Amino acid sequence: MKPTQKLHDSGQSLWLDNITRELLNSGTLKRYIDTLSVTGLTSNPTIFDQAISKSAAYDQDIQALTKSGLTREDLFFKLAIADLQRAADLFRPIHERTAGVDGWVSLEVSPLLAYDTERTVAAAKSLHAEAARPNLFIKIPGTKEGLSAIDETTFSGVSVNITLLFSREHYLASVDAYMRGLERRIAAGLSPDVRSVASLFVSRWDKATMDKLPAEFRDRLGIAVAKSTYAAYRDLLASDRWQRLENAGARAQRLLFASTGTKDPTAPDTLYISALAAPNTVNTMPEETLLAFADHGELEGVLPQDGADAADTLAAISKAGVDLAKLGADLQAAGAKSFVESWNDLLKAIDTKSRALVA
């Protein structure tokens, strides 16, 4: 049995953190679904920047859409939605077989809206309607302004992938916003069955502290944060507040481990996959990490519900001089800034291609 099948059988969903038109056209994504137990897909501005700027597969559509007079941003969303609709259709049988638990794809609102609640909500509703797929998440960052947007978007019935979460505290704030949206739906006589995932970014903790911590803590911080957040997730699912929502018809938001490609060249390339096998969660992996795990991955058992040694590890790292709260906030701000930079690069690439193709 392949390691990916073993991980899937342990109760964790394997999603691909990548999308390109070549993946779709070549049948590679379908092959990953059939042979590597891939049951979903995520995307972000950096992924689309790489896909569009380094490929001619989009050129014909860019040329046609440019002539129609669309803005560069609207043109991008036309390209992205076309790809994600095709991916969503590939995952649709999984989505139906699991009663909506799995088989999702994700599309992010413009990163320029990370600190604009009202426009984020409007964009989320518009993109979700345009995509017209029941298994498409709209990604909204878990910034302070994003939390209000998550509440309102959930209340409107749009399924949300809450992104750019870096800490247990970020997760708890985001799931509170999600539950507020569900509670408002119940109060309004609406169904609370609006799905969601909460995406915790893992590896960037270790990249940020690689040269700042003693060797004994190298590559342990991200996993400790993930374990601590997993414990909070399991506690939340057992809470009276969640039980009341579930009794009214809500389905659990799932914790998703993101940024799980290894950044340290001296560490195993499957580090954040083997260490974070957890039932009722998702691990979204870069393509090279997925292939590496399928080739030589090993499971270390599943995460205990209490987070195991996470609290002790975090306390020791804090004692070693890392301000965890500040670093979490800094990582979130840096992540939002990075997506804005990728977004701008993406729009520039589309603009350059548009000019050349029309000429």
pLDDT higher at 144 or 105: 105
Amino acid in position 169? E
Return the pLDDT at 324.
Answer: 97
Whole-number Å distance between alpha carbons of 306 and 221:
17
Whole-number Å distance between alpha carbons of 332 and 268:
25
Which CATH number fits the domain that encloses residue 283? 3.20.20.70
The residue range of the domain holding 179 is 8-19+109-339
273 domain residue, yes or no: yes
97 domain residue, yes or no: no
60 domain residue, yes or no: no
Domain total of the chain: 1
pLDDT band, residue 55 (cuts 50/70/90): confident
Whole-number Å distance between alpha carbons of 269 and 263:
9
pLDDT higher than threshold 80 for residue 359: no
Per-residue pLDDT tens digits for 61-95: 999 999 888 999 999 999 999 999 999 999 999 99
CA angle 48, 14, 275 (to 5 degrees): 110
Please list, residue by residue across 136-155, b when 16 or more beta carbons sit within 10 angstroms of its beta carbon and e when fewer do.
Answer: bbbbbbbbebbbbbbbbbbb
Torsion angle of C-alpha atoms 136, 352, 259, 13, degrees rounded to 10:
30
How many residues are there in the chain? 359
Whole-number Å distance between alpha carbons of 339 and 342:
5
In the numeric block, the tokens 């009341």 are attached to 244
212 catalytic residue (yes or no): no
Q: Annotated catalytic residue: which of 2, 125, 139, 326?
A: 139
Reading the block at residue 68, the tokens are 């129609």
DSSP lists the bridge partners of residue 255 as 198, 281
pLDDT higher than threshold 80 for residue 162: yes
Whole-number Å distance between alpha carbons of 272 and 17:
14
221 domain residue, yes or no: yes
Whole-number Å distance between alpha carbons of 198 and 176:
11
pLDDT higher than threshold 90 for residue 355: no
Residue ranges of alpha helices (H) inside the chain are: 3-9, 21-25, 28-35, 45-53, 59-67, 72-97, 117-131, 144-155, 168-187, 203-209, 221-237, 240-247, 271-274, 287-296, 310-319, 324-358
356 domain residue, yes or no: no
Reading the block at residue 201, the tokens are 């970014």
38 domain residue, yes or no: no
User: Which whole number is the average pLDDT over 39-66?
Assistant: 91
57 domain residue, yes or no: no
Residue 268 contacts residue 295 (beta carbons within 8 Å): no
Whole-number Å distance between alpha carbons of 316 and 185:
43
Return the pLDDT at 301.
Answer: 87
174 domain residue, yes or no: yes
Phi, psi of 59 (to 5 degrees): -60, -45
pLDDT band, residue 53 (cuts 50/70/90): confident
